[in-house]
């Protein structure tokens, strides 16, 4: 076997309940990685009204979100509706990355065993990893240049991001450097534990790594906590609490000074967040202190989601460094005006912050599926607009299709040769069924907006809009029978989606 088992040295999707413990004998008999599963998340203290305890797997069938296959156990297959939600979550985060200064990178899925040796995964995490080898042993190039080496499917992005940091000479002026990555990750969960979107072998994280100076830790954590607040309030998830896990008693790397600087910075950032936080004395990972974000649902059940982990270990393993004046002060996160000290420059190891706000995108989807229970906010809804036709005469069908084209941004023009899709999902129900029945069915299937196209609107080019299911924002007209031009409606819907409502 290529890899052997032990504990993760990075953000693991932390799934509530059904905790399982993985021990890391090399570093600490106490080191425990908690994993669990969140298949029973239901509602929040605010909105939306989720009254059912339905499991996300059942809801996913009703809403046609994802399926699974015996040919790839533990790898959810997202159907078009599921992919829409996934892509909107990712697009939402990308918008926030602009504000929070993250640069997205695209990194390999497989790396040679030598990389996992360097990162410590080979030693500590191998049982949870998949090995990749070439099946073409007869090929001539397999014996040359290590081409026949064994590879590992990546379970985490951090080593790849360390390679990017190491690819250039860095100065203290370049820091902080923040990389974001949505790469698929693979972890070899035992087959009996696999379930829906919560216990999987293939998933994506909204993974981020911040390489910063010791003096920048507090500001980076403060910003990350703000990021968490913005994201969870957009989803109307919460309340949540924060816990700080500090230096383990015995097994830890780094100096006590380093830990004290880091823990002091984390505490100040937590105080500044004005959120409740508690301390888990001695419960930090061996490689650094961490903050966990624990969501509470309306049943009082807690779900661990986002994690922020400081890491003194990985930058050392990868021999990362940046040039700074007064390196002795720099290492302690201090500044000096002493000219002799400032004349000296040296290499300082950056602090690495692993952070994920959603954690596993798939697992957060599971939580949201149960949280919204079919009442998706418009921006996330995979079923946004349904046009029901009064009859299926050709002029009415043509009108319905024209409205669909306008709302989806599908109509072409010589001035705009490339597509300007709006990203809205607009379906047509032209079955020969009464409009009352079609309209009721559209609502029960979760469509946010139901439009009626009939012969009455052919001369005006308008459409009858039922916007009663849209969340009120003070601007959107309310009512079930609003006559509107498709372009007027488009502006309203674009504003809704753009405001994440």
Does 10 participate in binding Zn ion (rule CB under 5 A)? Answer: yes
Select which of 186, 201, 209, 371 is catalytic: 209
Select which of 10, 24, 158, 465 is catalytic: 158
- Binding piece for Zn ion, criterion CB under 5 A, among 4-12, 142-150, 288-296, 460-468: 4-12
As measured in angstroms, the least distance from the Cβ of 159 to Zn ion is 9
As measured in angstroms, the least distance from the Cβ of 158 to Zn ion is 3
Q: How many binding residues for Zn ion (CB under 5 A)?
A: 3
Q: Is 207 a catalytic residue?
A: yes
C-alpha span between 303 and 298 (Å, rounded): 11
The residue whose two tokens read 């500001």 is: 219
Q: Is 158 a catalytic residue?
A: yes
C-alpha span between 92 and 90 (Å, rounded): 5
Does 24 participate in binding Zn ion (rule CB under 5 A)? Answer: no
Q: Which of 235, 296, 233, 241 is nearest to 273 (CA)?
A: 241
Select which of 56, 121, 161, 187 is catalytic: 187
As measured in angstroms, the least distance from the Cβ of 228 to Zn ion is 16
C-alpha span between 203 and 361 (Å, rounded): 7
As measured in angstroms, the least distance from the Cβ of 402 to Zn ion is 49
At residue 201, the 3 state secondary structure works out as coil
From the number of C-beta atoms within 10 Å of its C-beta (0-12, 13-18, 19+), residue 75 rates as middle
C-alpha span between 4 and 113 (Å, rounded): 12
Instruction: Pick between residue 311 and residue 362 the one whose CB is nearest to Zn ion.
Output: 311
CA distances from 462 to 175, 330, 481, 484, 489 (A): 55, 66, 12, 5, 10
Residues 77 and 68: beta-carbon distance below 8 Å: yes
Binding to Zn ion (CB under 5 A) within 332-361 occurs at 354
As measured in angstroms, the least distance from the Cβ of 352 to Zn ion is 8
Select which of 121, 202, 303, 354 is catalytic: 354
As measured in angstroms, the least distance from the Cβ of 137 to Zn ion is 34
- The radius of gyration of the chain from alpha carbons, rounded to an integer in Å, stands at 26
As measured in angstroms, the least distance from the Cβ of 11 to Zn ion is 5
Instruction: Pick between residue 10 and residue 442 the one whose CB is nearest to Zn ion.
Output: 10
Q: Is 205 a catalytic residue?
A: yes
Residues 497 and 473: beta-carbon distance below 8 Å: no
Length of the chain: 501
Instruction: Pick between residue 189 and residue 311 the one whose CB is nearest to Zn ion.
Output: 311
The residue whose two tokens read 């001539």 is: 140
Select which of 205, 216, 304, 313 is catalytic: 205
Type and span of the H or E element at 243: strand 240-245
Does 285 participate in binding Zn ion (rule CB under 5 A)? Answer: no
Instruction: Pick between residue 10 and residue 424 the one whose CB is nearest to Zn ion.
Output: 10
The residue whose two tokens read 């002029």 is: 395
Select which of 206, 207, 297, 429 is catalytic: 207
Binding mask 142-161 for Zn ion (x = CB under 5 A): ----------------x---
Q: Is 202 a catalytic residue?
A: no
C-alpha span between 339 and 214 (Å, rounded): 21
Select which of 113, 178, 202, 290 is catalytic: 290
The binding site for Zn ion (CB under 5 A) comprises 10, 158, 354
Which positions are catalytic? Answer: 158, 187, 205, 207, 209, 290, 354
């Amino acid at each position: 076997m290529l890899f052997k088992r032990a504990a993760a040295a990075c953000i693991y999707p932390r799934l509530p309940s059904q905790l399982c413990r993985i021990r890391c004998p090399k570093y600490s008999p106490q080191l425990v990685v908690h994993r669990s599963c969140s298949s029973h998340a239901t509602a929040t203290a605010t909105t939306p009204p989720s009254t059912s305890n339905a499991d996300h797997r059942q809801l996913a069938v009703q809403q046609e979100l994802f399926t699974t296959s015996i040919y790839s156990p533990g790898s959810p297959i997202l159907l078009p509706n599921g992919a829409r939600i996934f892509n909107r979550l990712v697009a939402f985060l990308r918008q926030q990355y602009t504000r929070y200064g993250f640069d997205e990178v695209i990194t390999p899925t497989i790396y040679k065993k030598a990389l996992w040796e360097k990162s410590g995964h080979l030693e500590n995490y191998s049982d949870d990893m998949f090995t990749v080898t070439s099946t073409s042993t007869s090929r001539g190039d397999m014996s040359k240049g290590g081409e026949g080496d064994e590879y590992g499917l990546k379970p985490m992005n951090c080593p790849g991001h360390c390679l990017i940091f190491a690819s250039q000479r860095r100065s203290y002026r370049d820091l902080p450097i923040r990389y974001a990555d949505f790469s698929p990750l693979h972890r070899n969960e035992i087959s009996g534990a696999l379930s829906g979107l919560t216990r999987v072998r293939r998933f994506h994280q909204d993974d981020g790594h911040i390489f910063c100076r010791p003096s920048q830790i507090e500001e980076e954590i403060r910003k990350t906590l703000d990021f968490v607040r913005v994201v969870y309030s957009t989803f109307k998830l919460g309340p949540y609490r924060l816990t700080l896990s500090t230096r383990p008693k015995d097994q830890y790397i780094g100096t006590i000074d380093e830990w004290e600087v880091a823990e002091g910075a984390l505490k100040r950032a937590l105080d500044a967040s004005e959120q409740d936080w508690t301390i888990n004395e001695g419960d930090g990972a061996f490689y650094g202190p961490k903050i966990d974000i624990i969501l509470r649902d309306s049943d009082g059940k807690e779900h661990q989601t986002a994690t922020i982990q400081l890491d003194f270990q990985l930058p050392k393993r990868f021999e990362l460094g940046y040039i700074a004046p007064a390196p002795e002060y720099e290492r302690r996160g201090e500044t000096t005006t002493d000219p002799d000290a400032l004349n000296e420059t040296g290499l300082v190891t950056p602090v690495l912050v692993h952070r994920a706000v959603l954690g596993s995108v798939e697992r957060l989807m599971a939580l949201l599926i149960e949280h919204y229970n079919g009442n998706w906010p418009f921006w996330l809804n995979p079923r946004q607009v349904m046009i029901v036709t009064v009859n299926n005469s050709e002029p009415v069908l043509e009108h319905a299709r024209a409205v669909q084209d306008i709302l989806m941004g599908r109509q072409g023009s010589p001035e705009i040769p490339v597509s300007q899709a709006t990203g809205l999902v607009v379906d047509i129900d032209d079955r020969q069924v009464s409009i009352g029945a079609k309209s009721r069915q559209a609502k029960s299937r979760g469509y946010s907006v139901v439009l009626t196209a009939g012969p009455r609107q052919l001369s005006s080019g308008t459409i009858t809009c039922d916007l009663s299911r849209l969340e009120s924002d003070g601007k959107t007209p309310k009512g079930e029978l609003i006559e509107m031009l498709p372009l007027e409606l488009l502006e309203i819907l674009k504003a809704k989606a753009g405001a994440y409502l």
